[in-house]
Chain A
Amino acid sequence: MTFNQLTIKEALDALTSGSLKIEKLYQDLDLSIQDKNKLYNIYLNFNTDAKKEAKLLENTQLKGLPIAVKDNFCSKNLPTTASSKILENFIPQYESTVTKRLQKAGGVIVGKTNLDAWAHGSSTETSDFGPTLNPRNPDHLPGGSSGGSAAAVAADLCLAAIASETAGSIRQPAAWCGTVGLKPSYGRVSRFGVIAMASSMDTPGVISKTVEDACLVLNSFAGPDSRDATCYQNPAPDFSKFLDQDIKGLKIGLIYHDLEGLEEVNEKLAQELAVLSQLGAKVEKVQALDPHHAIAVYTVVQRAEVSSNLARFDGVRYGKDRAFFGDEAKRRIMLGTFILSKGYAEQYYNLAQKVRTLYLNDFAQLFKKYDVLVSPSSPGFAKKLDASAGSPMFGELEDILLEASSISGLPGISVPYYRDPQSNLFLGANFVAAMWREDLAIKVADAFEKNTKWNTWRNR
């Protein structure tokens, strides 16, 4: 075993006890990166000072540990491309709140990871710099948009990764790559310095090896920020407090259990959830609002907000001109422009925002009775390379089980619940809680992870 294969918790313990020197961890990491990065196309750019920075951070919370960062977080003096040709040569003059706080807590940016261009997609295949391959099985996609971050974790090319989600972009790639993905409540984490996609849903979060690691990393940057007016003003809790808790008496609702085409993934999930009953939780099937309309709501709201947010790329102040947008971005900007135009805004945009309310109302009802809701994160295993070609709705359809909670702003965590022995591909379970109740999702996800055999790092 090499030291880059450690979890955040293991590495912190080893550094504290003196059994590990940070230089050694970076040596192992460098070798793995040389070995695998080109093969899988994970990092687009590296921070060449990473090791030097890490050596000075011994007495910090994260002790100089190497963290991968999705390339839509602005990092001062490091290229930030959003995987787009337009921003190919863009060097931000300021730091995103997330990466600034991460660094202050002693996390070191190893490099910037590939994503679907502008985070438009669920495959990394819309990246202007080529797709990332799934390190679990390189014939398959890593998912997206945070596919590079999920792959970096799965391939041990970092100890944890920063990612962002609008509707599925943390949890779906986390599921496909056999890692943990934590999407906090909308507003729990500042969006300042994240290249905006759909501002009413964009949420920074973590992709990690364990639930515990996700909490340790989220602790470094969650909480109010005067630079993002949509941030929750209450201080964020210490998320690691919710680990190793008794889940006895918690009520867990299994949703989307009767959706067509999901028989296999749902059957496996129901089997695995038995462990939560053994731990004293009450697990039962419950009917949630059909998620199909959430695809349409998300599509309308996302396209509308994209057309507005991407209007700033004029090729005058920074970046190349609008002729350099890739096909997917063009499609989304133009559909959003259409949806917001006179005569169609009422028909599409306003209607979608009303249907969005139906989902919020439905979740409000469900959370009166249940502490946590659970379903598969994705309808199936990671798809093969080229799966998204010719399908303008690929991502939306792949994220059908995540969109309803995303448009409602809810926190969720995806943890592995099955590994196929033939393909080496994983399924992830999505634990969702009410707004600001990350504590409940973490408690249940952590208990599930520690009492099942599917986490690669806990069961090596």
Chain B
Amino acid sequence: MSKKQVDQNQIKDIAKLAHIPISDIESQQLAKDFAKTLAVVDQLKTADVSRIDSTHQVTAFKNVTREDKVDESLSFTQAEALANAPQQKDGFFLVPKVLTTEDN
């Protein structure tokens, strides 16, 4: 069976994609944990799935829709929407700065 290895650099790339800050020590440990988990997952490759369709959901219900109508009971007031915000200003969420200019 092929042993899938994910090295520390790959771990750091994945962490970036997943927006998870990790330390060097964590990336070492995560590489080891990945190996253990992938060793189990790689067993799937021994299954015969030729001519087998994928199952993405088990109920087989299709196109479940509702009327395109505003349901007030499903909406938050502005105060409710902001109730748990760590930072807010003038009735808006305060978000981290993502754009920079040469001045700052």
Do residues A334 and B18 form an inter-chain contact, with CB atoms below 8 A? yes
Do residues B37 and A335 form an inter-chain contact, with CB atoms below 8 A? yes
Chain A residues lying within 8 Å of B20, measured Cβ to Cβ, are 322-323, 325, 330, 333-334
Q: Does residue A91 face the partner (Cβ distance < 8 Å to B)?
A: yes
Do residues B43 and A293 form an inter-chain contact, with CB atoms below 8 A? yes
Do residues A393 and B37 form an inter-chain contact, with CB atoms below 8 A? yes
Chain B residues lying within 8 Å of A318, measured Cβ to Cβ, are 84-86
Q: How far is the CA of A363 from the CA of B85 in the complex (A)?
A: 46
A296-B76 contact in complex given A200-B56, A230-B61, C-beta closer than 8 Å: no
Q: How far is the CA of A393 from the CA of B39 in the complex (A)?
A: 11
- How many pairs, one residue from A and one from B, have CB atoms within 8 Å of each other in the complex? 149
Q: Does residue B1 face the partner (Cβ distance < 8 Å to A)?
A: no
Q: How far is the CA of A323 from the CA of B93 in the complex (A)?
A: 19
Chain A residues lying within 8 Å of B96, measured Cβ to Cβ, are 316
A338-B34 contact in complex given A186-B59, A293-B47, C-beta closer than 8 Å: yes
CB distance from B86 to the nearest CB of A (A): 6
CB-contacts of B5-21 with A (<8 A): 6, 10-11, 14-15, 17-21
Q: Does residue B41 face the partner (Cβ distance < 8 Å to A)?
A: yes
Chain B residues lying within 8 Å of A319, measured Cβ to Cβ, are 84, 86
Q: Does residue A250 face the partner (Cβ distance < 8 Å to B)?
A: no
Chain B residues lying within 8 Å of A435, measured Cβ to Cβ, are 58-59
Do residues B44 and A296 form an inter-chain contact, with CB atoms below 8 A? yes
Q: Does residue A125 face the partner (Cβ distance < 8 Å to B)?
A: no
Of the candidates B18, B34, B86, the one whose C-beta lies within 8 Å of that of A316 is: B86
Q: Does residue A317 face the partner (Cβ distance < 8 Å to B)?
A: yes
CB-contacts of B52-98 with A (<8 A): 52-59, 61, 64-66, 74, 76, 80-81, 83-86, 93-96
CB distance from B4 to the nearest CB of A (A): 9
Do residues A351 and B17 form an inter-chain contact, with CB atoms below 8 A? no
The bracket for how many chain B residues form the interface is 35 or more
Chain A residues lying within 8 Å of B17, measured Cβ to Cβ, are 337, 341
Of the candidates B41, B57, B64, B66, the one whose C-beta lies within 8 Å of that of A200 is: B57
CB distance from B78 to the nearest CB of A (A): 11
Q: How far is the CA of A314 from the CA of B20 in the complex (A)?
A: 10
Do residues B57 and A322 form an inter-chain contact, with CB atoms below 8 A? no
Chain A residues lying within 8 Å of B41, measured Cβ to Cβ, are 296, 299-300, 348, 352
Chain A residues lying within 8 Å of B85, measured Cβ to Cβ, are 316-318
Do residues B14 and A355 form an inter-chain contact, with CB atoms below 8 A? no
Q: How far is the CA of A290 from the CA of B25 in the complex (A)?
A: 37
**Chain A window 290-326, contacts with chain B (Cβ cutoff 8 Å), 1 for yes, 0 for no:** 0011011101100000010001001111111011010
Of the candidates B37, B45, B93, B94, the one whose C-beta lies within 8 Å of that of A392 is: B37
Q: How far is the CA of A58 from the CA of B40 in the complex (A)?
A: 53
The bracket for how many chain A residues form the interface is 35 or more
Chain A residues lying within 8 Å of B76, measured Cβ to Cβ, are 93-94
Do residues A393 and B40 form an inter-chain contact, with CB atoms below 8 A? yes
**Chain A window 66-106, contacts with chain B (Cβ cutoff 8 Å), 1 for yes, 0 for no:** 00000000000000000000000111011000000000000
Do residues B44 and A348 form an inter-chain contact, with CB atoms below 8 A? yes
Q: Does residue A241 face the partner (Cβ distance < 8 Å to B)?
A: no
CB distance from B55 to the nearest CB of A (A): 4
A296-B33 contact in complex given A354-B49, A354-B53, A356-B54, C-beta closer than 8 Å: no
Nearest B-chain residue to A303, judged by Cβ: B37
Chain B residues lying within 8 Å of A354, measured Cβ to Cβ, are 47, 49, 52-55
Closest 5 CB pairs of A and B: A409-B58, A318-B84, A353-B54, A354-B49, A229-B64
User: Which residues in A have some Cβ–Cβ distance to B below 8 Å?
Assistant: 89-91, 93-94, 186-187, 200, 226-227, 229-230, 232-233, 292-293, 295-297, 299-300, 307, 311, 314-320, 322-323, 325, 327, 330-331, 333-335, 337-338, 341, 348, 350-358, 360, 392-393, 396, 407-409, 435
13 example contacts (A-B, Cβ-Cβ < 8 A) are as follows: A93-B80, A187-B58, A229-B64, A296-B44, A319-B84, A320-B86, A330-B22, A333-B20, A334-B18, A350-B54, A354-B47, A357-B49, A435-B59
User: Which residues in B have some Cβ–Cβ distance to A below 8 Å?
Assistant: 6, 10-11, 14-15, 17-22, 26, 30, 33-34, 36-37, 40-45, 47, 49, 52-59, 61, 64-66, 74, 76, 80-81, 83-86, 93-96
